[in-house]
A and B are shown apart, each in its own frame.
Chain A
């Protein structure tokens, strides 16, 4: 609506400007001094109004897409948190940041120009028709040709844009992979190759960028050519009609001034369409990714240490031929269960399924008799502590890592938990990305501290003694054994427990 009002005002001021300027020039030509003052006044007034409207339209339209951007970003975050990255982490990050910014740009820049592109030519043509029908017909015919070009080139551009976006995502994924895998590449003397290969990936992005741009320029060329030719044609026709006296100079000049203005909004709109290519392609990808509804349960999670039952549970192994055998196991309330089995037998996946991070292929997980899928996820997560296999430990410092979910956890509790595990770290010690400076064993125990300072009803621990020397491992085992909540521990090291479940062998037995 706002865009329509802006468009209409702009068109009217353009007409007034053209009329007064041409009448001014015609008056000069005819040496009629009288009307010059009025014309000048009106022209300046129209100029001022136009400049004000232009000045205000930018802040007015700049905001229109902000709610869309916020909503998309929120939903993307929600989806990634619930399902994991769409593709590679880096392509997902680029889509969520740069991609969504581009979508906003598309909506706040292209869409308003589109409205103007429909409105302004219409108003201007109407006025042209009242002044000089012949010129109006010439302009109308050229304007009607425009959509044909725009649609043909627009379709061509759309494919190219998508291609370019994919190339860009490929570059982000590739480079992200190289950066994250740098230790491997370096220690095998392959980092230089990877950098050279980046040139190759970059070159194909360059090619697809250029072909996208070519279409955009071609569209610009077509529009410009049509508008220039129409202007030239109108000028010629006007010239001939002036010659035989069938039209006045002021009208002829006004028509000449206005003819390019009919095309200008159309050209701007087409240019914005091509300039927003990233947004269009990103929108196509994002909407597809966000289409799948997120699973939502509504029942509050049960209080107290729960009994967990697996009913014909089959977990999926991505890219594997065999599904796991259906599991029928129960974990008593407050019991300690060890899950063992060869590497790759699905211990990690099983813990993730019970945590509610991954969905099972088939079968059910019952939590105190309630289906896990029906539980309200945040409520369930707040009652479960999970030690991941490769903890990332986001946070600036040791304290920040442990206080991740709860800022109120005091230092005393953290130090006590660290003491139990024999971990000696300064709480203020700064940590880099992936807490790089800590050793694998320290990271594992720090992640375990993060579990211990909470009061969960269920503890899911993925190889808690991995990377630990015998003494530290012993402390960890003791800590786990003395806890009273339901505990499920994936491990290769068997220690005293209420039950041992062996995966992969197709059977489970209790001890």
Chain B
């Protein structure tokens, strides 16, 4: 491609001046043929080049996105680690920026280099002296200006980047908790924050446009000067009789074509810093320590394990003790109702059991295997945890259930819906199991959401399960129905139900209370 545009400029210049010498028509046929050839090659070359570089860039981007997602997986759930909207932005926006880096910097730099070398060879062969202005122009436009652009643009680019990240954070709050802002007279605060961020963005954009303008302006100036230099050195060569007059226009026109090709690099590089920042952020993920220690290889087989032992476990959050000296054994037939004042560590305890969190000290064992030797996934094959506000995914009700077991049949789904007390909901939804939920069409009440969580767990039917406040938000008769179904279904398993409702303790074979981080079992 670079070859063709240089070729087109060079041969057409040669053709015209050669023609002005009025030679026989026949001697023009070579430059004429070449001119047409280069014209065709230039366009198709560019098309191929662009398609190729983008194919490569996109497939790198796809792989990068997959790698990023894999790096993120152990760092989540959010709330403990990075913010959700930031994480999404990272995967959607930053990965795209890395693609930019590949296509708009690497591509032009490569073709610019080829064009530069070609031009220098051809011009140098014709007029050795013309190499000086040309080389100077190329070095300035393709190397020095881009470096200056990247350096000077750094600050404005980082500012733009920061302002944009803050905007994501702002709109995250608008989308997630807009109602709370509205109802607390705080909507004006959001507008003020938006105004402040927009001002910052405007300032940074203005500064960037100044730099881009300056770099473009310098490139134009240098191009003009280097063409002049080429023309002057040609004049001298001609005077000395070192050059065929037919070729006098070639160095000048070649310079124009070559500098045109590389002039696009510098303005793009003003944005380089931001792209690099994106890349650094992505790389930074690899360095973040996972909140949970996982062994390098899977531990011993735990198929058939039904007993969990908790021994002398304590958990600190930022040096604040959350749980201290907990010991407990859970086995088949246990129906534990776990109660205790809010903030006493019930949820923390439940997350420990499912290896969604790790204790600060003490041991947990599944059958006789230490949790530290087991992968989280191994533990969770046997131990389930249903949180108190199960997420509703933006898919159908069936999809929301199949999330946990993709091969579940229609009959399976209907059965668990009935056991979880979702039958009235099912009969009300306008499209039954296929009704879309989540996102803007959420439409599930808090109690229904909790029963959805129960239904999911029933699909998996693990031998040891903790339900975090499954009866919250349920009226008494529904709550009773759900608990009875759980007791019936988990009769040969270990069932833990976290609850504040005195009525729920009727199902218990063991009453356990957590008080200020300490376990207290009543007999």
B143 an interface residue at 8 Å Cβ cutoff? no
Q: Is B50's CB under 8 angstroms from A217's CB?
A: yes
A35 an interface residue at 8 Å Cβ cutoff? no
Q: Please choose the segment from B87-95, B108-116, B327-335, B361-369 that sits at the chain A interface, where 4 or more of its residues have CB less than 8 A away.
A: B87-95
Q: Is A84's CB under 8 angstroms from B440's CB?
A: yes
> Contact mask B202-218 → A, CB, 8 Å, 1/0?
10011011101110111
Q: Is A179's CB under 8 angstroms from B194's CB?
A: no
A256 an interface residue at 8 Å Cβ cutoff? yes
Q: Is A243's CB under 8 angstroms from B19's CB?
A: yes
Q: Cβ of B476: which chain A residues have Cβ within 8 Å of it?
A: 492
> Contact mask B467-486 → A, CB, 8 Å, 1/0?
00100111110100000000
Q: Dominant SS at the A interface?
A: helix
Q: Is B28's CB under 8 angstroms from A228's CB?
A: no
Q: Cβ of B83: which chain A residues have Cβ within 8 Å of it?
A: 433
Total chain B interface residues with beta-carbon distance under 8 A: 169
Q: Please, could you name 15 A-B residue pairs with CB atoms under 8 Å apart, sorted by A?
A: A25-B248, A87-B440, A89-B439, A179-B78, A202-B65, A213-B54, A231-B8, A232-B35, A242-B20, A243-B23, A253-B17, A317-B428, A344-B447, A392-B176, A442-B342
> Contact mask B15-30 → A, CB, 8 Å, 1/0?
1111110110100100
Report the minimum CB–CB distance from A504 to chain B (whole Å): 9
Report the minimum CB–CB distance from A120 to chain B (whole Å): 15
- Kindly state the separation between the CA atoms of A198 and B171 in the bound complex, as whole angstroms: 23
B225 an interface residue at 8 Å Cβ cutoff? yes
Report the minimum CB–CB distance from B480 to chain A (whole Å): 12
Which of A221, A344, A355 has the most chain B CB within a 10 Å cutoff?
A344
The residue of chain A having its C-beta at the shortest distance from the C-beta of B217 within the complex is: A55
Contact of B47 among A173, A192, A217, A344 (CB under 8 A): A217
B309 an interface residue at 8 Å Cβ cutoff? no
B182 an interface residue at 8 Å Cβ cutoff? yes
Q: Cβ of A239: which chain B residues have Cβ within 8 Å of it?
A: 15-16, 18-19, 28, 31-32
Q: Is A318's CB under 8 angstroms from B73's CB?
A: no
- Kindly state the separation between the CA atoms of A345 and B473 in the bound complex, as whole angstroms: 11
- Kindly state the separation between the CA atoms of A436 and B389 in the bound complex, as whole angstroms: 12
Q: Please choose the segment from B132-140, B226-234, B274-282 that sits at the chain A interface, where 4 or more of its residues have CB less than 8 A away.
A: B226-234
Q: Is A85's CB under 8 angstroms from B440's CB?
A: yes
Q: Is A189's CB under 8 angstroms from B381's CB?
A: yes
Q: Cβ of A444: which chain B residues have Cβ within 8 Å of it?
A: 342
Q: Cβ of A390: which chain B residues have Cβ within 8 Å of it?
A: 389, 446
B343 an interface residue at 8 Å Cβ cutoff? yes
Q: Please choose the segment from A203-211, A307-315, A411-419 that sits at the chain B interface, where 4 or more of its residues have CB less than 8 A away.
A: A203-211
Q: Cβ of B69: which chain A residues have Cβ within 8 Å of it?
A: 175, 195, 198-199
Q: Is A467's CB under 8 angstroms from B356's CB?
A: no
Q: Is B35's CB under 8 angstroms from A236's CB?
A: yes
Report the minimum CB–CB distance from B228 to chain A (whole Å): 6
The residue of chain B having its C-beta at the shortest distance from the C-beta of A318 within the complex is: B443
Q: Cβ of A195: which chain B residues have Cβ within 8 Å of it?
A: 66, 69-70, 73
13 new A-B contacts at CB < 8 Å, known A25-B249, A188-B384, A355-B183: A29-B248, A40-B232, A93-B172, A94-B88, A181-B391, A182-B76, A185-B403, A188-B403, A231-B8, A236-B32, A463-B473, A468-B500, A492-B476
Q: Is A93's CB under 8 angstroms from B168's CB?
A: yes
Q: Is B16's CB under 8 angstroms from A437's CB?
A: no
Q: Is A29's CB under 8 angstroms from B20's CB?
A: yes
Q: Dominant SS at the B interface?
A: helix
Q: Is B216's CB under 8 angstroms from A58's CB?
A: yes
Q: Is B385's CB under 8 angstroms from A187's CB?
A: yes
- Kindly state the separation between the CA atoms of A57 and B15 in the bound complex, as whole angstroms: 36
B298 an interface residue at 8 Å Cβ cutoff? no
Q: Is A404's CB under 8 angstroms from B180's CB?
A: yes
A47 an interface residue at 8 Å Cβ cutoff? yes
> Contact mask B178-221 → A, CB, 8 Å, 1/0?
11111111110111001000100010011011101110111011
A394 an interface residue at 8 Å Cβ cutoff? yes
Assess A232 versus B36: contact at CB under 8 Å? Given A388-B180, A405-B184: yes
Report the minimum CB–CB distance from A260 to chain B (whole Å): 9
- Give A387-444 interface residues, CB cut-off 8 Å to B: 388-394, 404-406, 432-434, 436-442, 444
Which of B22, B38, B177 has the most chain A CB within a 10 Å cutoff?
B177
A171 an interface residue at 8 Å Cβ cutoff? yes
The residue of chain A having its C-beta at the shortest distance from the C-beta of B86 within the complex is: A433
Q: Cβ of A450: which chain B residues have Cβ within 8 Å of it?
A: 184
Q: Is B475's CB under 8 angstroms from A343's CB?
A: yes
Q: Is B356's CB under 8 angstroms from A183's CB?
A: yes
A184 an interface residue at 8 Å Cβ cutoff? yes
Q: Is A92's CB under 8 angstroms from B391's CB?
A: no
Report the minimum CB–CB distance from B432 to chain A (whole Å): 10
Q: Is B20's CB under 8 angstroms from A80's CB?
A: no
Q: Cβ of B403: which chain A residues have Cβ within 8 Å of it?
A: 181, 184-185, 188, 190
Q: Cβ of B220: which chain A residues have Cβ within 8 Å of it?
A: 47, 50-51, 54-55
- Give B352-400 interface residues, CB cut-off 8 Å to A: 354, 356, 376-377, 380-381, 384-391, 393-394
Q: Cβ of A168: which chain B residues have Cβ within 8 Å of it?
A: 92
Q: Please choose the segment from B56-64, B147-155, B409-417, B487-495 that sits at the chain A interface, where 4 or more of its residues have CB less than 8 A away.
A: B56-64
Q: Cβ of B472: which chain A residues have Cβ within 8 Å of it?
A: 466-467
Q: Is A320's CB under 8 angstroms from B428's CB?
A: yes
Report the minimum CB–CB distance from B326 to chain A (whole Å): 16
